[in-house]
Chain A
């Protein structure tokens, strides 16, 4: 009885000590979290959907109705050269204007505290990871890209309308994904995704604070530089037109900017 009591006497504090140690491990003061928010603008102002008030670089009057896209392989670059890859909960993030919750991404990965130079990501999904049927649930499953065009998933579906050269209102789908080029009997698939090094995305991650960084998609930029994209020339659908998708992809270099960092 005496030995049992002695054992229990020592057991009791050990239980509490071990719980305390575990608690200390999960509340590390050397890491923190970051939140990304996604905004969408045309000509520097938040886009008004379903409203034909915009003119692109080609002079097309147009509106944007819906947009959905993936960014992937997000990286946070510290000034000491170290890189944190975001992949603990998801390496591929989906944004959809019809699902407001997707406009805020509370990244679950823990980032080391300190000064960060920049954030980078891939717009779309690199072909080696863009695999058919990896998303079976909506909404991502509806982004499937046709297997005969390369498979995997759309990088982006940007849908809207424009007034054509005879003043009819036509529909466009700026859809970006794997490109297919047929040379005689040969078929080549082209990766149209691209790396984005977000300008002005430096920030400091301090203990106890969760920075909120706004990423802006400047929609008008998809159609302007270096290629002026004319809906009247390319028409309403481009998934089977690698030349058109290449131009959209190439124009993507300045689509993304940073809004606020709080």
Chain B
């Protein structure tokens, strides 16, 4: 009788060997039973072996604030680790990352913590003086956004471009790549960047700790920076403390909150949810002629997206002037006045602009003041001073 012997290989897997004859059925059953009982043990051992052959990192657990989304936009090939976040923070602030001997430029050059990781002036001009196509967007609460990045939402896994060789799947990692290569940003290349980082003595060990190799790759540079950016979570404004019952809003702030949430100011259909943005895209009636080659339509080719841009978060809005995709409004007062009486008709105005018929929400001066007071209550001063998000003090 030909029986089956389960043999443990060096790789701790089970191999079927049918070449051996056994005459005793009880011995056969014993072997089957023992083999079956060993199966879960050998699988566990297999996992342990894999762990010991790769670097042991420390998971970075994102603490999700109350009422915030529980679904996080973290790609499967870049899990959050303490080592990755630490490395990312160094790289985020290190001007040598651009790989140019006569220029220092880092992510933090244009994404400054004091401006909620925006730049405080609007457009950026990169290393070659070329202006960015839109003003700088803030790095805040990006881990909660799964609906595409940038003003037009084109950085998304749904975009086939980000599944081509050299790209990283359509997430924050690709934004790092764009920043490095775009003529209006670092205007450099990934080889120069990784060579520059490789040559700095503190980094190879940090890459080893985070990714298991002290050979710097741009992919791992992008991954590390993306991990750090995903930790930039803002959730401690006065408004948050009000929602938690820890602090009261002033009467003006409270009135502004009511107007924000209702059709008096009607902000929340686009700037709603606890994130103060739906992370969706709208034509908010700024213009009647549309010539921007990088609006939402440039990605979707849906005519209803002509002149549409993302509704950016209003969290920390007081720190993030100027406003709109082109920075046309220098102050919050200008923005409020626009929505109150400055709407411009076009065939492409998003239907959510319900007040288009009257040119705007037609708010009174006191309603405008209340709305502004509420917007200022969305400021999270702890976020813009949190040392965990700041430049490492030992970074040269």
Contact = CB atoms under 8 A, between A and B. Distances in A.
Contacts of A159: 351-352
Given A12-B33, A65-B351, A237-B266, A138 B261 contact: no
B52 interface: no
Given A4-B30, A173-B351, A236-B354, A146 B71 contact: no
A136 B68 contact: yes
A113 B304 CA distance: 46
A121 to B, nearest CB: 26
A171 B351 contact: yes
Please indicate which of the listed interface residues A9, A142, A147 has the most CB atoms of chain B within 10 Å of its own CB.
A142
B357 A138 contact: no
Sort chain B's interface into a size bin: 35 or more
A5 B354 contact: no
A148 B278 contact: no
A196 B7 CA distance: 63
Contacts of A12: 29, 32-33
B294 interface: no
Determine chain A's interface SS by DSSP, over half rule. mixed
A149 interface: yes
Contacts of A133: 67
B221 interface: no
Given A8-B29, A138-B147, A239-B263, A50 B304 contact: yes
Contacts of A138: 69, 71, 146-147, 273, 278-279
A22 B79 CA distance: 37
Given A4-B30, A138-B146, A171 B70 contact: no
Interface in A150-183: 159-161, 164, 168-173
Interface residues of A, number: 38
A136 B275 CA distance: 10
A137 interface: yes
B349 interface: yes
Contacts of A11: 33
A66 interface: yes
Contact of A9 (B29, B146, B303, B350): B29
B262 interface: yes
B140 interface: no
Please indicate which of the listed interface residues B29, B280, B350 has the most CB atoms of chain A within 10 Å of its own CB.
B29
A115 interface: no
A88 to B, nearest CB: 21
Contact of A146 (B32, B261, B353, B357): B261
Interface in A98-142: 133, 136-138, 141-142
A144 interface: yes
A171 B345 CA distance: 11
B352 A171 contact: yes
A93 to B, nearest CB: 18
Nearest to A132: B67
A211 interface: no
Interface string B257-299: 0100111001011001110001110000000000000000000
A259 interface: no
Contact of B354 (A15, A142, A173): A173
A32 B350 CA distance: 43
A240 interface: yes
Nearest to A5: B26
B391 interface: no
A146 B70 CA distance: 21
A44 B354 CA distance: 27
A34 B88 CA distance: 49
A138 B266 CA distance: 20
Contacts of A144: 268, 272-273
B5 interface: no
B11 interface: no
Interface string A9-24: 1011001000000000
B160 interface: no
B209 interface: no
Contacts of A202: none
11 contacts: A138-B69, A138-B279, A141-B69, A142-B280, A144-B273, A147-B261, A168-B345, A169-B347, A236-B357, A239-B262, A240-B262
Given A12-B32, A146-B262, 14 more contacts: A5-B29, A8-B30, A9-B29, A50-B303, A138-B69, A148-B258, A149-B261, A164-B357, A173-B269, A236-B354, A236-B357, A237-B263, A237-B266, A240-B263
